[in-house]
A and B are shown apart, each in its own frame.
Chain A
Amino acid sequence: MGATGFDPWTKSASFPPNVHDPARLGAPSGTCDTRPYNAGVAQAAGNDDRALRRRVTRLEAIVLELAAASRPSLIPRLMGNEPGASSADVSLEQLPSGRWVAWGGSAVAGGATRAEALSSLGRLLDEYPTIPDEAIAAGQAIAAQLGLGKA
């Protein structure tokens, strides 16, 4: 898995618990971990972890986008039971304004419909499979200005 040696099936604390349902992802039995999301572990895992999570998110977005286009009735099942539920790394929510927002990882996309929001999210993840170095550098500069370095 790269320089960090991160193994997504055994080092799973950086994922939301429902990602590790073996029936959904085909992970070997006995390797699942239902500990809560742990941001500290996620940070320590580094770039490999981020790239992997974004790939999973992109796959989820593609599946949901296809379902939204072909069989809208599948969406509530894929997302959980109703809007607002999460499936793996992708979440979908209707705003008070009536617009929809879909997000996964660090990507956020909006749309007038569920399909549009999911489609935008899928496109965004295609174009930004990982967070650009420029965005990280800009964030580090902002943090330096604001005194928000690593705690």
Chain B
Amino acid sequence: MRELHTDTRRIDEVLEAVESAIAQDAESFHLVQDTQLRIAVADPFPGVIPRLWIYFTIDDFDYCTLRAVRPATPPQIVETDG
């Protein structure tokens, strides 16, 4: 997560919102063409957190799996735990 942004609390809030939306309405998110992935575009804190592309799959009636989170634009701050 720190590769996306140092403010992990904000990132958590973003993911909480996305998870809630997916949990209620997963099929409303668009399929990525020729894949099983669906995409969510999140923009919760303009200028603070980069816009995110979040990819997930609908595994069955009860479960979805978040597969990847990518910044839509290059992150302004890049830090790693190393």
Contacts and interface: CB of A to CB of B under 8 A. Distances in A.
Q: What's the dominant secondary structure at chain A's contact region?
A: mixed
Contacts of B75: none
B20 A93 contact: yes
B64 to A, nearest CB: 13
Q: What's the dominant secondary structure at chain B's contact region?
A: mixed
A1 interface: no
Contacts of A17: none
A37 B42 CA distance: 23
B16 A142 contact: no
A62 interface: no
B3 to A, nearest CB: 15
Given A97-B13, A105-B30, A143-B32, A91 B21 contact: yes
Interface in A78-114: 84, 86, 89, 91, 93, 95, 97, 99, 101, 103-111
Interface residues of B, number: 37
Nearest to A146: B67
Interface of B: 13-14, 16-18, 20-21, 24-25, 27-46, 51, 53, 55, 57, 67-68, 70, 72
23 contacts: A16-B28, A42-B30, A42-B31, A93-B21, A93-B24, A97-B13, A106-B39, A110-B13, A120-B46, A131-B30, A135-B72, A136-B32, A139-B55, A140-B32, A140-B33, A143-B36, A146-B67, A148-B36, A148-B37, A149-B34, A149-B35, A150-B36, A151-B36
